[in-house]
Structure 1
C-alpha cells in the first residue's frame, strides 16, 4: 500500500505540543474493523493530530501511552484546540492524545458534494459512502494503532464516538486497553424507529422544561413560526428560512448551559421595518449557522445509517414524526426539534440538494452490515465505563442502560448533572471519574 504514515508540521504553544499525522488506509478494508488491507487497492487519507503537554519533555512524551479520541457525529472532525483544558488537560497528564479526523472529515480525504461527483452517479456515490460508518472508522483506527507501533490503547468516545467504541469492542477488542464513553451507548439491535420514538419523547420533555423556565419564549416561538408561514424570510445565503428549518434551533436543547443561550437567540428575532415586522438580520445570521449542513454534509447523509444493521431506515424520523404531531410546523404551538434528519433537508438546504438522490438510496439500503457483535460483547473482558445522562435528548437513557447490561463488565455512571454535551461542561471531572472506573479506583 506504499507509505502508510507521514508526519508533517509540529508546533508548541500555550502548554501543548502538536504533531500532524497523515495515514494511508484502504477505502474498503479486507475485513471491516479488522485492519486488513483491501484487495481493491483504492486508498484514502485519514488525518490525526497528536496532542501532548509540554509538562512532559519531547522524549518523555514519546513514551506515553496513546489515548484515541473518537468524536461525535457522524461527520464531525476532530476538535481543534489552542490550549489544554477540560478532559484533555486531565488526559494529557498520562497520555498522548490522538485526535482523529474520521474518514471523510477535516483533513482526511473529504466528502463533499463536489468531491463526490468524482465517484460517478448517485448509485456510485451511495456505494462509496457505505464505507464511512463505524465499522470502517474502527478498521482505520486499528490499522493506525499498528502503524504507530502502539500497544493496546485507551479510547474515549463522545456521542457517535461511543457508538464507534462499541464497534471497536465488537470486532477488534485486542487493540483496546480500556474504553470510556460519554453520552454514546448505542442500541445494539432493533430498527431505528424505536430510537426516534424515544428521541421525540425526550425532546418534547425538554421543550416543556425550557418553556417552564422561559414562558415568554413559548409565545415567541409560535409567533416566529406563524410569521414564516405568511412572510418569506431569507438567509444571507439566499435560501428561504421555513418554519421547519427554524425548528432546528432546538439543537440548543441538548446542552447544559447552551440551552439558556436559546433564549438569547430568540430575543433577537423581530424588528420593526418600513414594511412592518420582520426577522432581524442578527437573528437570521445566527440561525443560518444552525440550520445549514454545509460544514458537515455527512451528518445528514449518514445519520440514520449509524443505526442500520440489515434493515433500511426508510427515513425513520420522518415516519415516526406522524406519531408526534406537536412537532409538525402546522401545530398550534409547534415544538422545537433536535438531531432528527428529514428528507426535506435535501430540498431546503442548498448544501445538501446535490445529495438528494444519494440520501434516498442510503435510506432504502436493505443490506447494512452488522455494527456490533452481541456475542462478543456479552463476554467482553476490556474495562469499559460510560457516562449515561439521564435526560439526554440525543442518546436515550433507557436504551443506553439496555446496552450497558448487554456488555459484560461495562460500568455505567448514570447522572442527572449533565446533558449530551457534558464533556464540554466538566470534561476534566467526567474524564477523571471514568478513568478511575476503568482503572478500578473510582
Structure 2
C-alpha cells in the first residue's frame, strides 16, 4: 500500500518493497525496503525519468527533506526522485542491538551483516527499478558511501543506469582499509590545524576538556562513557562545510561553575551525546571498515592499528606537551563498542566482522574500463573523508567518467551547495560544462 501527501511544491509517496536478503537465493528469506518518492507538485501526473538517491554512510537512511531543500529542488525540475532507505536503515527492516539478536548469536549476526554492503544495495536497486520504471534505466545520485555504491552499480549492473552522478564518493578500487586510513590521518591533522588557525582560543579549551576527561570518569546522559578519545572523535565535524564553526560553538560552553568547582555543563554533555551516539545508525560502526574489504585480508580494526603509526594523535602525549590536542575523524575503534550503550551488545559481532577473511569483490575493473554509462563525479579537494588521490585514480579507471574537482565545498557539498552541485554534475555528465 502506498500513501501520498504534500509538502510545499512537492508530492511525496511512501513506498515499500520486499527483496531477498541474499540476492543469490531469490527464493529465500526476505527483508523490507522503504523509499520515499518525491515529484514536483506541478509534474505529479507526468511521465518523468527517475533519479534514485543513495545516501552516505553506511548506516543512514535517506535524508528527510522538507519541500525542495538542498539539491532536491534541482532534481525535481526534471526527475521523479526516489529517496531510498538502504537495507538496515531508516524505515527499512532495521539492523541494530534490538533486532540483531533475532538472528542468533554474534556469529549469525556477523554472517547476516555481510549482506548489507554496496553489492547488496545495488541488487536491491535493480530489484526495485523495474517495478517503478517499467524496466527503463534510471539516474543514480550517490553521496559519499552512496558514491561507493554507484561505482559498484557501474561494475555489477550498468544496464540499469542511464546516468551515474557521484559526489564526494569515489572509492579506491584496490586499497585495503589500512591504506585508506594511512592516507586519512594526515588529512585529519590538516583539518585540525586549520580549525585551530581559525579559532586559536579553542586550543586551550580542547586541552582543558581532554585533561578533565583523562582525570575522571564522565558518563553522558544516555550512559555513554565519555573519554578523551571519544572527545577527540568529535573531529568528524571538521569534514563538513560548517563543521569547524559547529565544533567551536560546542567547545565554548563546555564548563560551568558549580559548588564542586568547574564541571562539564549539562548542555555540553547533551550536545556531545547527540554527536557521539550510534543508536540511530549502528551499521556505520559495524560496517564502516567492511566497505573497504574485498579480499582475504581482514580489516582487523584498521583505523585503530594505523593510528599507532601517528603518535601525535595520542591525547595523553599531546597534553604532556604544550601543543594543541589533535582531533580524529571518520574512524571506528574498538573502544566505541565499550563506550556506547547502543554498540556494547554488538562488540563480539564487530570483532567477528573485523576478523572476516571471505569478503567478495565490490568493483569490476574490466567492466569499469569499458563503461558506456555517462558519468560525472564531484571530487572535493582535500576531502577529509575520502582521499582525493584515490578518487582521481578511480576516476581515471572508469571509461568516460568526467570529474569536477573543487575546493569550494567540503565533503557535504551536495547539501551545503544547494542546487549548484547537482546542476554542475548533470551538466558535466551531459558534456554541457
Do the structures match in fold with TM over 0.5? yes
1:409 correspondence with 2:396: no
Aligned to 2:102: 118
Q: Which portions of structure 1, spanning 4 or more consecutive aligned residues, are displaced by more than 6 angstroms?
A: none
Q: Please say if residues 199 and 393 of structure 1, whose CA atoms lie closer than 8 Å, have aligned partners that are also in contact.
A: yes
1:70 counterpart = 2:51: no
Q: Is residue 77 of structure 2 the alignment partner of residue 93 of structure 1? A: yes
Aligned to 2:363: 372
Match of 1:35 in 2: none
Query: Distance in 2 between the 1:283 and 1:331 partners?
Result: 25
Instruction: Show the counterpart of 1:215.
Output: 200
Unaligned ranges ≥5, structure 2: 319-323
- Quote how far apart the aligned CAs of 1:40 are: 5.0
The DSSP-based 3-state class of the residue aligned with 1:86 is: coil
Q: Aligned runs of 1:15-164 on 2, under 5 Å?
A: 15-30=9-24, 38-39=25-26, 41-56=28-43, 58-60=44-46, 63-148=47-132, 149-164=134-149
Deviations 1:133-158 (A, max 9, x none): 00000000011002222411001000
Contact 2:167–2:377 at 8 Å: present in 1 too? yes
How far has the Cα of 1:427 moved from its partner? 3.0
1:315 equivalent in structure 2: 301
How far apart are the structure 2 equivalents of 1:439 and 1:415? 19
The residue number in structure 1 matching 2:335 is 344
1:12 corresponds in structure 2 to 6
Residue aligned with 1:12, SS: strand
* TM-score of the pair, normalised by structure 1: 0.95
**Structure 1 Cα separation of the partners of residues 110 and 224 of structure 2:** 26
Counterpart CA distance in 2 for 1:249 and 1:51 is 33
Q: Distance in 2 between matches of 1:193 and 1:239?
A: 28
Q: Aligned ranges for residues 277-426 of structure 1 at < 5 Å?
A: 277-310=262-295, 311-332=297-318, 333-426=324-417
Q: In the TM superposition, what is the alpha-carbon distance from 1:243 to its structure 2 partner?
A: 0.5
Q: Give the Cα separation in 2 of the matches to 1:440 and 1:124.
A: 48
Give yes or no for contact 1:28–1:40 (8 Å, CA) kept in 2: no
Deviation at 1:439, TM superposition (A): 1.5
Counterparts of 1:142 and 1:422, CA distance in 2: 27
Q: What is the DSSP-based 3-state SS (H/G/I as helix, E as strand, rest coil) of the residue aligned with 1:393?
A: coil
RMSD: 1.0
Question: In the alignment, is the contact (CA less than 8 A) between 1:248 and 1:290 conserved in 2?
Answer: no
CA deviation after TM superposition for structure 1 residue 263, in Å: 0.7
How many residues get paired?
426
Paired residue for 2:321?
A: none
Give me the whole-angstrom Cα distance separating, in 2, the residues matched to 1:79 and 1:238. Answer: 27
* Partner SS for 1:247: helix
> Any idea what SS the aligned residue of 1:286 has?
helix
Measured in 2, the distance between the counterparts of 1:187 and 1:368 equals 16
1:199 aligns with 2:193: no
CA distance in 2, matches of 1:427, 1:385: 18
Alpha-carbon distance, 1:39 to partner: 4.6
DSSP-derived class of the 2:38 partner? strand
- 1:271 deviation in Å? 1.2
Deviations 1:30-52, CA, capped at 9 Å, x for gaps: 2xxxxxxx255110001111001
Q: Aligned equivalents of 1:81 and 1:434: distance in 2?
A: 20
CA distance in 1, matches of 2:325, 2:248: 16
**CA shift for structure 1 position 80:** 1.0
Query: 1 CA distance for matches of 2:385 and 2:263?
Result: 32
Instruction: Give yes or no for contact 2:223–2:340 (8 Å, CA) kept in 1.
Output: no
